Amino acid sequence: MAQQFDLFSDAGPVADAVLPGLSLVPEAVSPEAEDALAGRVDAAPLEPFKFGQWTGRRLTCAYGSGYDFARGRLAPAPPLPGWLLALRDRLGSAAGLEAEALGQALLIRYDPGAGIGWHRDRPQYGEVLGLSLSADCTLRLRRRLADGFERRNVHLPRRALYRLSGEARWEWEHSIAPLAETRRSITLRTLRGIEAA
């Protein structure tokens, strides 16, 4: 039986918090659920992130589908476990997405000193939901202009859920600088062609 969490507070989404296509649900999970979810992330078969011959400091585990960076395509991954399906249903609803369209999940643990560099999620994926756990951070965003980069920063408190769609998803890159404390995240993504509004 999937574990049930008392997830959501009365806080509603803050639409287009910093730029079009970025929305944020603060306090999306309760402190008790955060602790339980952090334990689930830590118990997953986490492995160092690999990009070609480079190995990152963050630890990851994919469900639903993975991504083969060497071949530039989706790769097989185990199905979402029951606890993650239940979480997906709640987060999808909070973000205004059909839960079934969120076919990919990525668990990440950022130990002290680990971050994630500038990137845009692979084009095989559509909508992106991220649940930030265990530590506050700054979600950094940038997009290339003719004379450099336009930049924005978003404070991402622990237990917040963010959604990247439209302009924020496709025109901007994002990154998170390394922190001095451990941070965890659960990312859910739609596969292209099966997104829901």
pLDDT tens for the chain, residues 1 to 197: 233 333 333 344 443 457 899 999 999 999 999 999 999 999 999 999 876 666 678 999 999 987 766 666 677 889 999 999 999 999 998 888 999 999 999 999 999 999 998 999 888 889 999 999 999 999 999 999 999 999 999 999 999 999 999 999 999 999 999 999 999 999 999 988 544 43
State the residue for tokens 């994002």.
174
> Global pTM?
0.85
Domains located in the chain, CATH noted: 22-191 (2.60.120.590)
Which one, of 109, 106, 104, 87, lies nearest residue 176 by Cα?
109
Residue type, 24: L
Which one, of 119, 40, 117, lies nearest residue 84 by Cα?
40
